[in-house]
Amino acid sequence: MTLFARATAALLLSAAAAAAQTELTVYTAFEAVDLDRYKKAFETAHPDITINWVRDSTGVVTAKLLAEKDNPQADVIWGLAATSLLLMKSEGMLAPFRPEGIERLDPNFVDQDETPSWVGLDAWIAALCVNTRELERNNLAAPTSWEDLTKPEYAGHVAMPNPASSGTGFLDVSAWLQMFGEEGGWNFMDRLHQNIKFYTHSGSKPCKDAARGEVTIGVSFAFTGAKAISDGAPLAVVFPSEGSGWDMESAAIVAETDFRAEAETLLNWAVSEAAMKEYNVGYAVVAIPSVAQPVENYPAGGLDAMIDNDFLWAAENRERILKEWASRYDGKSEAK
Amino acid sequence: MATAADPAAPGAVASATEDNRPIRPRASRDEIAQRGVIGVLVLYLVLALVLPIGMVFSKALQQYAFTPDQITIAFGRGGAFEAPRSLQSWIDETGYVVNDGLRASERTRVQIVRIIPRPARAGVEAYRVTDASSAGGQLLLGQEFSAPGQTIEVPAADLGRIQVRPQMSYGLGNFGYYFSQKSLSDSIRNSFVIAAIVVAINVPLAFGFAYALTRTRIRHKEWFRLISTVPILVPSLLPAIGLVYLFGNQGILTPLLFGASIYGPIGIVMASVFFTFPHAVIIMTIALGGADQRLYEAAEVLGASKRRTFWTVTLPGARYGLISAAFVVFTLVITDFGVPKVIGGDYNMLALDIYKQVIGQQNFQIGAVVSIVLLIPAVIAFTVDRVISRAQTAQFSSKAVPYQPDEDVRRDRWMLGHCIAVSVFILGILFMCQFAALAKFWPYNLTLGFQHYQFNKMDGGGWAAYWNSIRLAFFAATIGAVLVFIGAYLVEKGRGFVAGRIGLQFLAMMPMAIPGMVLGLAYIFFFNDPSNPFNFLYGTMAILVINTIVHLYTVSHITATTALKQLDGEFEAVSMSLKQPFLRTMTRVSAPCCLPAIGEMWMYYFVNAMTTVSAVVFLYSPSTNLASVAVLNMDDAGDIAPAAAMAMMIFYTNAAVRILYGLFSRNVLGSLQAWRAR
């Protein structure tokens, strides 16, 4: 073989190697603005893998994954609520895997099984988005606790997500039941219900409605509020003093993936410090506590506000809670 | 194929061959081609309509229940296993209430550790749990379902990992559950009440508007006619968004509500009046436009007052139009889910329940049940409309003299006021949406700018969704118009194969009676089944095109057959005697003659494909996001200004296509249609 031929062969080989890109189909409910940044960061670290995002809201992605149960299209789920992944796990759709460096993660963020089926990445925490201008206009003081919200002066000023259609709403309800006990929780919601202007379908809407002054107080998430403030909304974000429900954006490998090795690479990267720094741009609380830096307009005390959330309890009692909730509060406007 | 003689055929021509078998005339090659095309179209409608709808019915009957009597568990103590005991006997003994007494769904799971109390398990080292069912799948351990008869052995610490799954059977359980849920069955009443109110408002409103267009001498009629069709060009979400801006907490006109909330019945009714208005006006304009001058002259001669003439001549003459408009509006309201989604607050409606059950709770069985409930009013309305439209054709006689409105300044002034009021309502909502889409941060910073058009930074799919919508509208319109026209041609002008033609006609009328949400859900059930050979279509643009063509098939089919009916049957007779294939007659004679109708079909497909939400909301995939769905999802996430911006983009696109078509038809079609002029 001549030198020239050898060189050509080598060149061809390297070309083939460069072309050997694996495309991973990744289902996600990450915020639309974050997608490009996460993809770029990962692909820079692992140029041989390309991420093909399939993105929608939490409810839709969950429905889609469950609908495709017998014929999964996704390789990896990256950025979906842990409560949704618990559902997938109970359907036998996730492949257990222990990512490298998982011991640095706060144990609250990791599936309890010996080999975890999913890992949490960052937390989103329930908070109140309070429109300060509307407070002023209506001569109201800012609420500081959940209990405050039930005061008669807030009647018709509060919006919250419907737990039946919004994972966020369910998170709030399950947190109240855990914090105040079964009886106290329902009692609280009975009183809160008197003040609710409307229940929304999505979890971020109450906060954006509060930002526009459509309602005065939106029961929503801290990061949505922080973002709205940066956009110029007259908002204050409040962690209620009793504590807040929370959920995490998490990641898992789909059991039937054809690209197990690449999926593991992605999961290893998803829990790395580099990834945590990316999550930290929008989220104040991430799975590796030492990485976390303060986020613009994000109120302090997020970590302390998080209650000791029992996800398994919430998942097991979901149907019962939703049924009870619907029988108490659904179709509120027709009673008028 | 019918070329082979069939001795038993009763209609066979009675001429005998040597072996005494009666024969029929040979099907010509042309007839065979016609049958082939009809067969393909029928197959298409069966695959894309009948079978998916059938799946909805079968899904609605799938019910789930735990069968703990088919599970046994044996305790291992001291190295040996005791006699197995059924899980049911444990439940009987402990009084454990399975799943808190709730009806099980596909995804309900129960843990064995919850059923057998800890004291009863003292000293157990291992368990053998057996799935004694014949179908298997009773148990779930980690990621695996149990096989029939399989025994799973686990150490004591791992019993918590074994979960019990409910088993599927067919029955009416879901319907019983549905009607026992007050919040769900209340939706039936709510939907009917709202639809009835919208009919009660819209029919007089549209009647007045159509009356002004046909029976008065007001000026600028063509402008009012144009404005009245504007709502067709926008998704039903747009009026709901506009109303939030007009009447919401920060709205300009909120004081007009006197403290009532726009979120709920008031908002749903107002937005529904907006989006159903053009449909009622079009029907009523046709009904009022065909009046006979001689009746009015007779009334005048007989000394009837204007009021009396109105009640005894005008209204009865338009009665079919009134009834038809009422049913069309009723169906549109009851099957729409965009309006209550955006502005309904907590007011539950049937179509919204399907969405909530499927997207919010992943409860496909109950979604199917609601679909069937929703089918009933839609089918009734459809049937009434068909019966009426048949009766109406008999009304006009060839001797009728077209009505000429007389001079009446007072009447015209009132009618002009009515038209202006309605136009202000329509344009006001449109203007509000556009303004809100441009305002930097409503209501605190009203500087205008285009930052809400940066769709790529929002939920909903970004600008790609907009271009996808245009692709969908173009493909659905072009393929749909051609397909529907060929089908209508064969139904109307084809020869022989009566059964096939009647079948195609029947299938072509079906889609109108199927609400879009139901069709969308049906497609999930049918095409997402991995054992379906058409599964590969799922999540592609093709399935959206297929769905849209079927969803809008009926109206296009009626347009095409109406146009074809006007063409003399002699064309076919002549071409047959000249031995011309049907394809040539169709493409050289019928299609050019019907070009205005085909153009209308194309426009109808395009505009509706741009605005529809209901049918496609279950079918889009992230790579085939659509503009109308993006409006829905952006509003859902609270990004209401970008939602308004995208809704207005749909309006501008449809308006532009409409105008281009108008220019095209004036110039090109005008010359092609010169033969119509004398």
Residues of chain B neighbouring A200 (CB-CB closer than 8 A): 638
User: Is the CATH number of domain B455-676 1.10.3720.10?
Assistant: yes
pLDDT at A334: 36
Report how far residue A146's alpha carbon sits from residue A242's, in angstroms, rounded to the nearest whole number.
7
Res. B545: pLDDT tops 90: yes
pLDDT at A296: 86
Nearest CB neighbour to B345, from listed A70, A198, A320: A198
Phi first, then psi: give them for residue B404, nearest 5 degrees: -120, 115
Helix (H) or strand (E) holding B195: helix B182-215
Residues of chain A neighbouring B441 (CB-CB closer than 8 A): 231-233
Nearest CA in chain A to B636: A202
Report how far residue B634's alpha carbon sits from residue B10's, in angstroms, rounded to the nearest whole number.
63
Mean pLDDT (whole number) for B295-311: 90
pLDDT, tens only, B613-624:
988 998 988 788
Report how far residue A195's alpha carbon sits from residue A174's, in angstroms, rounded to the nearest whole number.
19
pLDDT at A248: 92
pTM for this model (two decimals) = 0.86
Residues of chain B neighbouring A208 (CB-CB closer than 8 A): 637-640
CB B400 within 8 A of CB B290: yes
Residues of chain A neighbouring B456 (CB-CB closer than 8 A): 32
CB A165 within 8 A of CB B183: no
Nearest CB neighbour to A215, from listed B105, B249, B622: B249
pLDDT at B23: 61
pLDDT at B398: 67
Q: Is B638 within 8 Å of A92 when comparing Cβ atoms? A: no
CA–CA min distance B238, chain A (Å): 18
Q: How far is CA B166 from the centre of its chain?
A: 33
Res. A301: pLDDT tops 90: no
* Axis crossing angle, helix B173-180 with helix B364-392, rounded to the nearest 10: 90
Pairwise pLDDT comparison (B420 vs B320), residue with the higher score = B420
pLDDT, tens only, B499-520:
999 999 999 999 988 999 999 9
CA–CA min distance A333, chain B (Å): 6
Q: Smallest Cα–Cα separation from B338: which of B544, B516, B605, B604?
A: B516
pLDDT at B392: 67
Q: Is A326 within 8 Å of B181 when comparing Cβ atoms? A: yes
- Select, from the ranges A55-64, A290-299, B261-270, B489-498, the one with the highest average predicted confidence (pLDDT): B261-270
Position A326 confidence tier, pLDDT thresholds 50, 70, 90:
confident
ipTM: 0.80
pLDDT, tens only, B226-238:
999 999 999 999 9
Mean pLDDT (whole number) for A206-232: 93
pLDDT at B648: 97
Nearest CA in chain A to B462: A32
Q: Is B640 within 8 Å of A208 when comparing Cβ atoms? A: yes
pLDDT, tens only, A79-90:
999 988 988 888
Mean pLDDT (whole number) for B318-326: 89
Helix (H) or strand (E) holding B300: helix B293-301
Residues of chain B neighbouring A71 (CB-CB closer than 8 A): 528, 530, 535
pLDDT at A303: 85
CA–CA min distance B145, chain A (Å): 8
Lowest model confidence (mean pLDDT) among B130-134, B455-459, B472-476:
B455-459
pLDDT, tens only, B53-62:
999 999 999 9
Position A253 confidence tier, pLDDT thresholds 50, 70, 90:
very high
Res. B108: pLDDT tops 60: yes
Q: Is A165 within 8 Å of B163 when comparing Cβ atoms? A: no
| DSSP secondary structure of B39-58 | HHHHHHHIIIIIHHHHHHHH
A234 and chain B: CB distance < 8 Å anywhere?
yes
Q: Which of B113, B143, B144, B245 to mutate to test the interface with A (most CBs of A within 10 A)?
A: B143
Which residue(s) pair with B73 in the sheet? B85, B129
Mean pLDDT (whole number) for A42-61: 87
Q: Where are the domains of chain B?
A: 63-170, 180-359+409-449, 455-676
Indicate left, alpha or beta for B515 from its phi (over 0: left) and psi (-120 to 50: alpha).
Answer: beta
pLDDT at B471: 97
pLDDT at B145: 84
Pairwise pLDDT comparison (B385 vs B657), residue with the higher score = B657
Residue B167 exposure: Cα atoms within 13 Å on the Cβ side:
18
Alpha helices in B494-515, H assignment, sequence order: 498-509
Q: Is B360 within 8 Å of A200 when comparing Cβ atoms? A: no
pLDDT at B64: 92
Report how far residue A253's alpha carbon sits from residue A25's, in angstroms, rounded to the nearest whole number.
11
pLDDT at B393: 59
Res. B208: pLDDT tops 50: yes
pLDDT, tens only, A284-294:
899 998 998 88
Residue A99 preceded by cis peptide, ω within 30 = no
Mean pLDDT (whole number) for B3-31: 55
A58 and chain B: CB distance < 8 Å anywhere?
no
pLDDT at B19: 60
Nearest CB neighbour to B183, from listed A197, A198, A330: A330
Q: Is B362 within 8 Å of A62 when comparing Cβ atoms? A: yes
Mean pLDDT (whole number) for B638-664: 94
Q: Parallel, antiparallel, or unpaired: how do β-strands A76-81 and A22-28 relate?
A: parallel
Report how far residue B334's alpha carbon sits from residue B379's, in angstroms, rounded to the nearest whole number.
12
Res. B13: pLDDT tops 50: no
Nearest CB neighbour to B444, from listed A60, A234, A326: A234
Pairwise pLDDT comparison (B21 vs B439), residue with the higher score = B439
pLDDT, tens only, B158-169:
887 788 989 999
Nearest CB neighbour to B346, from listed A70, A202, A332: A332
pLDDT, tens only, B126-178:
999 999 888 888 888 866 788 898 999 988 888 877 889 899 999 999 999 88
Calculated CA dihedral for residues B627, B630, B635, B641, nearest 10 degrees: -60
In residues, how long is chain B? 678
Nearest CB neighbour to B535, from listed A71, A199, A336: A71
Q: Is B190 within 8 Å of A334 when comparing Cβ atoms? A: yes
Res. A15: pLDDT tops 50: no
CATH-assigned architecture of domain A3-123+247-299? 3-Layer(aba) Sandwich (3.40)
pLDDT at A155: 94
Amino acid in position B292: D
pLDDT at B678: 54
Res. A67: pLDDT tops 80: no
Considering only residues 294 to 323 of chain A, which have any Cβ-Cβ distance to chain B shorter than 8 Å?
Answer: 316-317, 319-320, 322-323
**Three-state DSSP class for B88?**
helix
pLDDT at A11: 47
Q: Is A320 within 8 Å of B181 when comparing Cβ atoms? A: no
Nearest CB neighbour to A323, from listed B102, B347, B637: B102
pLDDT at B78: 86
Lowest model confidence (mean pLDDT) among A208-212, B429-433, B632-636:
B632-636
Position B107 confidence tier, pLDDT thresholds 50, 70, 90:
confident
Mean pLDDT (whole number) for B491-495: 87
CA–CA min distance A73, chain B (Å): 10
Phi first, then psi: give them for residue A126, nearest 5 degrees: -65, 140
Res. B592: pLDDT tops 50: yes
Q: B180-359+409-449 adopts what CATH topology?
A: MetI-like fold (1.10.3720)
Mean pLDDT (whole number) for B9-34: 62
- Those residues with Cβ within 8 angstroms of residue A186's Cβ, 6 or more apart along the chain or in another chain: A177, A324, A328
pLDDT at B6: 44
Nearest CB neighbour to A32, from listed B105, B186, B457: B457
Cβ-in-10-Å burial (0-12, 13-18, 19+) of B676 comes to: exposed
Res. B253: pLDDT tops 70: yes
CA–CA min distance B550, chain A (Å): 23
CB B468 within 8 A of CB B600: no
Res. A281: pLDDT tops 60: yes
Q: Is A162 within 8 Å of B346 when comparing Cβ atoms? A: yes
Position A62 confidence tier, pLDDT thresholds 50, 70, 90:
confident
How many C-beta atoms surround the C-beta of residue B173 within 10 A? 18
**Three-state DSSP class for A123?**
strand
Res. B22: pLDDT tops 90: no
pLDDT at B582: 86
Q: Is A331 within 8 Å of B348 when comparing Cβ atoms? A: yes
Residues of chain B neighbouring A320 (CB-CB closer than 8 A): 99-100, 102
Q: Which of A36, A52, A56, A88 to mutate to test the interface with B (most CBs of B within 10 A)?
A: A56
Same fold: B180-359+409-449 with B455-676: yes
- What is the average pLDDT score of chain A? 87
Considering only residues 65 to 104 of chain A, which have any Cβ-Cβ distance to chain B shorter than 8 Å?
Answer: 66-68, 70-71, 73, 87, 90-96
pLDDT at B5: 42
Q: A125-245+312-335 adopts what CATH topology?
A: D-Maltodextrin-Binding Protein; domain 2 (3.40.190)
Q: Is B145 within 8 Å of A53 when comparing Cβ atoms? A: no
pLDDT, tens only, A116-128:
999 999 998 999 9
Q: Is B530 within 8 Å of A70 when comparing Cβ atoms? A: yes
Residues of chain B neighbouring A73 (CB-CB closer than 8 A): 539
pLDDT at B27: 64
Same fold: A3-123+247-299 with A125-245+312-335: yes
pLDDT at B505: 93
Pairwise pLDDT comparison (B420 vs B2), residue with the higher score = B420
Position B645 confidence tier, pLDDT thresholds 50, 70, 90:
very high
Q: Where are the domains of chain A?
A: 3-123+247-299, 125-245+312-335
Phi first, then psi: give them for residue A186, nearest 5 degrees: -70, -35
pLDDT at A18: 44
